[in-house]
Amino acid sequence: METKKTLLKEKFEENRKAFAEQMKQQQTIFSNMNSIKKRIAVWSGKGGVGKTFFTVQLAYALKKFTKKRIGILDADIDCPNITKIMKIDEKLKGMQNENLIYPVEKNGLQVVSMGSVFQKEDDTVTWRGPMISGTITQFLLMVKWAVDYLVIDMPPGTSDAPLTVAQQVKPTGLIIVTTSEPMALLDARRSLKFAEIMKIPVLGIVENMSGDIFGKGGGTKLAEEFNVPFFGSIPLDKKIQKYVQTGTPLCETKEYGELFEEIVGKLEK
């Protein structure tokens, strides 16, 4: 009987310490995120609609038109592509004794991505949901940001990873990226309903790859349906691919500079 009581007491103490550590972590994350003025999540229920592409272009536009310090958090842990688009080869650096991670700096932006952890860019993460969510949590705990705006490249879907970001980062706003293709619009609707459930303000909708191939006008109709702002359309244009390949931000081009200036203006209101 005495042995059983001792085991129960030890288990209780173990659980108490685990709970206390979890609460400490949540307080640290809250403090880290609360120090960042605006935390803008870029999201799509469906992969392949250009969410990561838009995240990078938005970050460059915010830097240009607000003159603020801008960071990018790649929360797509198993398929990180921010480093590929931005041509980042540098690895994340940390201070083990301080338990900190410092973002990579590229073109005036602070960037954190699993792509800067992988030894090779095509390394594969074969983790279940809790490990992916745990990695996001570690980034939120350990990264030493010095930014005014944090743009978050969200993973697609509405399950573990997006839930972790929604609950721990508590984005100040959400931008939905979609195409006019019916399945993309369906998944965008799911994302909008998720945002409503999580009480995250939807800042606006962007229609990407607009044109004859994927259609056009779906983003506008979706914005009207959910009574949220429509930020504009980005066409499926060969020039954009050229700009991406040369590393030219769209906000610096004559074709798309005005569009991104308008988007930033709407975010600043």
- pLDDT value, residue 11: 64
CATH number at residue 181: 3.40.50.300
Percent of the chain with pLDDT over 90: 71
Quote the tokens at residue 211.
């044109």
Residue 264, sorted as left (phi over 0), alpha (psi -120 to 50) or beta, turns out to be alpha
- Rounded alpha-carbon distances, angstroms, from residue 14 to 7, 42, 47, 195, 249: 10, 39, 41, 36, 51
pLDDT, average across residues 194-216: 94
Token pair recorded at residue 140: 């939120």
Q: For residue 83, what pLDDT is reported? A: 94
Q: Which of 68-72, 221-225, 236-240 has the lowest mean pLDDT?
A: 236-240
65 vs 9: which has the higher pLDDT: 65
The pLDDT score that the predictor gives to residue 12 is: 57
Quick one: 226 and 255 in the same domain? yes
Q: How far apart are CA 179 and CA 212, in angstroms?
A: 11
The domain total for the chain is 2
Distance CA 11, CA 4 (A): 11
Residue 5 pLDDT level (bands cut at 50, 70, 90): low
* 4 pLDDT more than 80: no
pTM value is 0.90
Residues 150 and 18 in one domain: no
Same domain, 261 and 145: yes
pLDDT number for residue 200: 95
Question: 10 and 63 in one domain?
Answer: no
Looking at the structure, tell me whether residues 98 and 3 fall in a common domain: no
> Is residue 210 a contact partner of residue 236, using CB atoms and an 8 Å limit?
yes
Asked whether residue 220 carries a pLDDT value surpassing 80, the answer given is yes
pLDDT higher for 149 or 127?
Answer: 149
pLDDT per position as a tens digit, 16-49: 666 567 778 888 898 999 999 999 999 988 888 9
pLDDT of 169 > 90? The answer is: yes
Are residues 81 and 181 both part of a single domain? yes
Question: What pLDDT score was predicted for residue 262?
Answer: 96
Instruction: Calculate the average pLDDT of the chain.
Output: 90
Q: Is the same domain home to 49 and 29?
A: no
Q: Residue 120: its pLDDT value, please?
A: 80
- Is the domain of 19 the same as that of 41? no
Mean pLDDT of 87-92: 91
Domain that holds residue 227: 37-268
| One domain, residues 90 and 28 | no
Cα 73 from Cα 62, distance rounded (Å): 15
Contacts (Cβ under 8 Å, ≥6 apart) of 46: 156, 178, 183, 184, 187, 188
| Cα maximum dimension of the chain | 80
- 100 and 143 in one domain? yes
Backbone angles phi, psi at 24, to 5 degrees: -65, -40
In 3D, which of 58, 53, 82 has the Cα closest to residue 68?
58
Based on the fold, state whether residues 119 and 14 are members of the same structural domain: no
**Domain match, 30 and 53 both:** no
Lowest mean pLDDT among 92-101, 125-134, 142-151: 92-101
